[in-house]
Amino acid sequence: MEVTTGHSSPTPRKGFRRIWNSISQFFAQTPLLGWILGILIASTLELLIGFPLARAIGLNKAPVLFGVDIALKTPLLLPATLLYDLIIYIFPIVLVVRFLNPLTNRLAAWLLRFPMWVSALVHMGLLYLALDLWTSVSDYRVLVAKLMMIAIMITLSLNVVNGFMGEFSCSHPGFMALGAYSASLVTVFLFIGSDFGPAILPESLGPFIFPIALILGGLVASLGALLVAFPSFRTRGDYLAIISLAFMFIVKSLFENLEFLGGARGFGNQPNWASLPVVFIWTMLCIWIINNFVQSTMGKALNAVRDNELAADAMTVDTRKTKMITFLFAAFWAGVAGGLFAHVLRYVNPGTFGLQKLAEVLAMLYFGGLNSVTGSIVGAIGYNLLSEMLRPLELFKWIIIPLLLILVMLYRPTGLIAFKEFDLQKILQPKTPQTKEEVENVTPAS
């Protein structure tokens, strides 16, 4: 009997997959530094010639989010916006990314000769510079960028519980609300003054107290998380999902009834301290700490608890401690994100932290991918960008985004980038061999 093996003649990859492969091969030798430099140069270019260029090709104003909003409002302007994107973003980035490879690779290798954190800090600094330049064009971009970074924090912290520990927690809007209200309470009562009396401390002290207020918000959220963490010892899965859902409803209802916090009318007048660099620093801190957490022994214990709690217990994993710490940890970051959220919008009301928010957070998490730091970042950025860019479609936005998410679920049930470790060394290192030994060790390209 003849057995045909699929491997003897590899089937040619076709269509979308082939295009994707050739694109990724084209950029295979670009380190992260190259990408950041490309974005930096594109942002500078936009700042310098963006507006005149937009005028020259017949646009009234420079496109805010890659021109998608303009193209959706008036489809006739689509060629002009495409041209704009091509000149401002795609050409410079592709050129820099492709042809500065030798330089950026050498630079990345040189940076790695120092301790890792130096390299990481340089990358972050450049990234912030690019972000700052990109957002300096309009206030709308600043707001979008801030909300996007806060979404990254929330999605990451939810991923710790839902992805790494494998529970289905619905309580994150509740944690956010706790953090948002506590942090606002501290800042407003100390620095702005309210019905209870004038400001106690001078506003110049504010930026120093602000981190403390955020941390306090996080701690209050952790305290609330105890209410979900204790039942998690006895129940898991579906029943814990209900308990966390009930927790969310309780928190929302609690804030609706606290009259000194404005009740259902909301609580506003927060000081404007959540500037772009502040949010950026907190986001980077959050990514760094959560990534360390999930890669630590505790993080591995999380996965063990998820995959088989009994076996994990037998292998000396303290399951109770693991669950407790994880819930408190995730709630802490959700609380910090909530505090930042309140200070970005400078107004919160309990309705914000309801079922709508829950659906949004879950969508970002499952869009990006479970059990993966990269996935959460991609999910949060992708969802937020999409949601902002499709804004001109108004109602139909809420048909297109769910449809996209359903497609992602059908074809990649655990999300776009799931179960992938976030390895700093791998991300920062040059993509071509640099030293002599490396060149000798490298295997011929397949």
Binding site for another protein (CB under 8 A): 162, 166-168, 227, 231, 234-239, 241-243, 245-247, 249-250, 252-254, 256-257, 263-264, 306, 308-310, 355, 359, 362-363, 366, 370, 395-396, 398-399, 402-403, 405-406, 409-410, 413-414
Give the separation between CA 316 and CA 350, rounded to whole angstroms. 42
Give the residue from 330, 296, 291 showing the smallest Cα distance to 420: 291
Of 3 and 410, nearer to another protein (C-beta) is: 410
- Going by C-alpha positions, the residue among 361, 363, 359, 376 that lies closest to residue 417 is 376
The least distance separating another protein from the CB of residue 70, rounded to whole angstroms, comes to 23
191 in Cβ contact with 209 (< 8 Å): yes
- Residue 23 contacts by C-beta under 8 Å, 6 or more apart in sequence? none
Q: Which residues pair with 348 in a beta bridge?
A: 267
Q: Which is nearer to another protein, 30 or 349 (CB)?
A: 349
Least Cβ distance, residue 41 to another protein (angstroms): 38
Dihedral of alpha carbons 340, 346, 347, 351, sign: negative
Longest Cα–Cα distance in the chain: 91
Please give the Cα distance from 130 to 89 (Å, whole number): 13
For residues 25 and 308, which CB has a smaller minimum distance to another protein in the complex? Answer: 308
Kindly tell me which of 208 and 411 has the beta carbon lying closer to another protein.
Answer: 411
Residue 370: CB minimum distance to another protein, A: 8
SS (H, E, C) 402-419: HHHHHHHHHHCCCCCCCC
Cβ closest to another protein, residue 20 vs residue 396: 396
CA distance 310 to 299: 17
Q: In degrees rounded to 5, what are phi and psi of residue 135? A: -85, -10
Least distance (Å) between residue 259 CB and another protein: 10
Which contiguous run of DSSP H or E holds residue 348?
strand 347-348
Return d(Cα 184, Cα 180) in angstroms, integer. 6
Residue 108 or 225 with smaller CB distance to another protein: 225
Calpha distance 419→157 (Å, rounded)? 16
Q: Given the complex with another protein, which of 121 and 250 has the nearer CB atom?
A: 250
Smallest separation (angstroms) from another protein to the CB of 20? 23
Partner residues linked to 267 by β-bridges: 348
- Backbone φ/ψ region at 429: left (φ over 0), alpha (ψ -120 to 50), beta: beta
Please tell me the distance from the alpha carbon of residue 215 to that of residue 331, in angstroms, as a whole number.
11
Least distance from another protein to the Cβ atom of residue 408, Å:
9
**Shortest CB 389 distance to another protein, Å:** 17
Measured from the CB of residue 151, what is the shortest distance to another protein in angstroms? 17
E-strand spans in 67-213? none
Nearest residue (CB) to another protein, 340 versus 401: 401
- Nearer Cβ to another protein (308/425): 308
110 vs 239 by CB, closer to another protein: 239
Q: At 197, give phi and psi (nearest 5°).
A: 155, 175
* Bridge partners for 268 per DSSP: 347
CB of 393 to another protein, least distance (A): 11
Least CB distance from residue 401 to another protein, whole Å? 8
CB of 218: closest distance to another protein in angstroms?
23
Kindly report the number of other CB atoms within 10 A of residue 10's CB atom: 7
Nearer to another protein, 257 or 292 (CB): 257
Burial of 154 (0-12, 13-18, 19+ CB in 10 A): buried
